[in-house]
């Protein structure tokens, strides 16, 4: 075991045994005992702890679910991250709010591995409300590479994609899919 692994195991053991806990994070009905020093790695918690009275012990959070808070705390203490298709969007929103760069990047990487013709437009659209340039580029590249397959999915997403592409000045050409004329990008561009 490496020195880093031993330190992580030591912190995990402190958490498991609830030794030296100095704060409680309350989310919905869940109360999680934590070490402030461990959560200080996240800008949101550093700010929360430093602007709160020193005697404050319980911190109630309302911007995320108990499940997502548990995923984040588990990652802090174990370096094991449980990202799934069903929790990635909520997790991404929470860690963006917290400015937890490491987990933002992990969510982005996960979404890149999940790109498919049926979800790439939604993932690309997500990047317009978040700052994930690598994910935006990957999703857009996927759309361009699999354009014919993508066009067979959700009409509203397809229309939105073509509207955005046209408004962004991308060179387009007319194609017919299922008898419907559609404009498609004629050359890769991001």
Distance CA 28, CA 66 (A): 6
Residues 54-86: tens digit of each pLDDT: 899 999 999 999 999 999 999 998 889 999 999
pLDDT of residue 49: 96
Sign of CA dihedral 176, 182, 186, 190: negative
- Domains parsed from the chain with CATH numbers: 1-82 (3.30.710.10), 115-190 (1.25.40)
Residues in the chain, overall count: 190
Identify whether the C-beta of residue 25 lies closer than 8 Å to the C-beta of residue 74. Answer: no
Return the percentage of the chain with pLDDT > 90, whole number: 53
Model confidence at 177: pLDDT above 60: no
Model confidence at 21: pLDDT above 90: no
Distance CA 161, CA 169 (A): 13
Identify whether the C-beta of residue 136 lies closer than 8 Å to the C-beta of residue 113. Answer: no
Q: What is the pTM of this model?
A: 0.75
Distance CA 125, CA 51 (A): 35
Strand, helix or coil at 30? strand
Question: How far is CA 81 from each of CA 8, 88, 107, 127, 163, rounded to the nearest angstrom?
Answer: 14, 11, 10, 22, 37
């Amino acid at each position: 075991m490496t020195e880093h692994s031993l330190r992580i195991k030591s912190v995990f053991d402190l958490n498991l045994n609830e030794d030296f806990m100095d704060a409680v994070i309350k989310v919905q009905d869940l109360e999680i005992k934590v070490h402030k020093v461990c959560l200080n790695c996240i800008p949101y918690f550093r700010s929360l702890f430093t602007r709160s009275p020193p005697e404050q012990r319980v911190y109630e959070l309302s911007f995320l679910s108990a499940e997502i808070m548990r995923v984040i705390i588990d990652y802090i203490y174990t370096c094991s991250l449980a990202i799934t298709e069903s929790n990635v969007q909520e997790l991404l929103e929470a860690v963006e709010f917290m400015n937890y760069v490491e987990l933002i990047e992990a969510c982005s990487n996960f979404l890149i591995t999940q790109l498919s013709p049926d979800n790439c437009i939604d993932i690309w659209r997500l990047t317009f409300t978040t700052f994930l340039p690598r994910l935006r580029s990957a999703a857009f590249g996927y759309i361009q590479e699999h354009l014919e397959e993508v066009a067979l999915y959700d009409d509203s997403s397809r229309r939105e994609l073509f509207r955005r592409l046209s408004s962004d000045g991308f060179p387009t050409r007319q194609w017919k899919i299922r008898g419907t004329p559609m404009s498609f990008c004629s050359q890769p561009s991001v």
